């Protein structure tokens, strides 16, 4: 199969690219930074010399850039079987009244407008092909949960769920499947603050994260298997289900995890 993943130069996006390649599929790598795309493509080609791996820089906020990413994928791979709307940003974690307006504008543009642009470009393309699956990345807030200092991110991920539900309804009885993807809590640059911002709050967060978080290497094989197997419009591939959360808290009483230590945090 041929896969496009937005925001795949690091974190969960890169992890998913690697897992698709391991299973014999071909991928297009992308993010805003052309140098990061080139480096990632070079590294992956060395790791998977038998696979077709293309790269195209794309800021999902720019509609024309998303069109160029679709065209690159069709040119390089022939058709697109799975498109993963993974690119995202969380923004500065301070109360909303202290947040610079440009910060929340960027979060909304990336997580909502960027996803809309991708769906707007990809749906007609897949319809013309006669098949295709689109996965939209959920996140904190998608299930309606609320927490302070993360209002714009939570708002956008709530919107992602609505958008996916609405588009799945529109795509009923078409060859295009609109699906949900949820990675749980994953140790990436998005989760771990830079060293100078890891104060007491971070040490407190680590206690819960040591119970609930996982590494990219743990989560991405599950996500990729789920995306490959999903065969109906509106399908959901979700790692951290409410049942799993309950089991994690129950076992944390007698089994201590240290997910950050081995990763050097
Ligand atoms: N980590 C978690 O615990 C977690 C939990 C739930 C959901 N998620 C979701 O999973 C997705 C990936 O998160 P992550 O933790 O892997 O984040 P990450 O490590 O920060 O990686 C984000 C990727 O997206 C790219 N990106 C950012 N803005 C972009 C834009 N406007 N256009 C195109 N690419 C862009 C980044 O590259 P450039 O900066 O070079 O563009 C990078 O490749 C996000 O949608 C996030 O909300 C993460």
User: pLDDT by residue for the chain (265 residues), tens digit each?
Assistant: 999 999 999 999 999 999 999 999 999 999 999 999 999 999 999 999 999 999 999 999 999 999 999 999 999 999 999 999 999 999 999 999 999 999 999 999 999 999 999 999 999 999 999 999 999 999 999 999 999 999 999 999 999 999 999 999 999 999 999 999 999 999 999 999 988 888 888 889 999 999 999 999 999 999 999 999 999 999 999 999 999 999 999 999 998 999 998 887 7
Estimate to the nearest angstrom the gap between the alpha carbon of 109 and the chain centroid: 15
The pTM (predicted TM-score) of the whole model is 0.98
For the CA of 153, the nearest atom of ligand 1: 47
Q: Is CATH 3.40.50.720 what the domain over 2-194+214-241 is classified as, yes or no?
A: yes
Q: Mutate which of 56, 60, 88 to test ligand 1's pocket (most atoms within 8 Å of Cβ)?
A: 88
What is residue 182's three-state secondary structure?
strand
Tokens for 183, please give them.
């990675």
Continuous H helices in the chain:
11-22, 34-47, 63-77, 101-108, 114-129, 151-170, 200-212, 216-229, 242-251
- Locate the ligand 1 atom nearest the alpha carbon of residue 14 and give its number: 43
Residues 112 and 160: beta-carbon distance below 8 Å: yes
pLDDT at 198: 86
Query: Which of 5, 8, 12 for mutating ligand 1's site (highest number of atoms within 8 Å of CB)?
Result: 12
Q: Is the CB of residue 5 less than 8 Å from the CB of residue 58?
A: no
Helix (H, G, I), strand (E, B) or coil at 170: helix
Contact between residue 202 and residue 248 where contact means Cβ atoms under 8 Å apart: no
Q: Which of 159, 206, 166, 203 is nearest to 185 (CA)?
A: 206
Give the start-to-end residue ranges of the domains of the chain: 2-194+214-241
How many degrees, rounded to 5, is the angle at CA 106 between CA 224 and CA 6?
Answer: 25
User: Residue 7 in contact with residue 31, Cβ under 8 Å?
Assistant: yes
Residues with CB under 6 A from ligand 1: 6-7, 9-13, 31-33, 36, 58-61, 86-89, 110, 114, 137, 139, 183, 185-186, 188-191
């Amino acid at each position: 199969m041929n896969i496009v993943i937005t925001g795949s130069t690091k974190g969960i996006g890169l992890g998913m690219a690697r897992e698709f390649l391991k299973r014999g599929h071909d991928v297009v790598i992308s993010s805003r930074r052309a140098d990061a795309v080139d480096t990632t493509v070079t590294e992956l080609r060395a790791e998977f010399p038998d696979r077709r791996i293309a790269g195209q820089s794309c800021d999902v906020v720019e509609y024309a850039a998303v069109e160029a990413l679709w065209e690159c994928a069709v040119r390089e791979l022939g058709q697109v079987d799975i498109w993963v709307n993974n690119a995202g940003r969380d923004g500065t974690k301070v109360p909303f009244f202290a947040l610079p307006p440009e910060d929340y504008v960027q979060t909304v543009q990336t997580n909502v407008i960027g996803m809309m642009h991708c769906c707007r470009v990809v749906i007609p393309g897949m319809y013309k092909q006669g098949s295709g699956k689109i996965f939209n990345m959920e996140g904190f807030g998608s299930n309606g949960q609320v927490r302070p200092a993360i209002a714009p991110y939570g708002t956008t991920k709530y919107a992602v769920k609505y958008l996916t539900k609405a588009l799945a309804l529109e795509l009923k009885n078409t060859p295009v499947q609109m699906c949900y993807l949820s990675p749980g809590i994953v140790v990436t640059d998005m989760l771990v603050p830079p060293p100078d911002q890891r104060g007491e709050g971070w040490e407190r967060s680590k206690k819960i994260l040591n119970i609930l978080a996982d590494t990219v290497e743990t989560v991405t094989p599950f996500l990729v298997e789920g995306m490959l197997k999903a065969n109906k419009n509106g399908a959901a591939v979700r790692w951290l289900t409410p049942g799993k959360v309950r089991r994690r808290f129950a076992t944390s009483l007698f089994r201590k995890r240290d997910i950050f230590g081995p990763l050097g945090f």
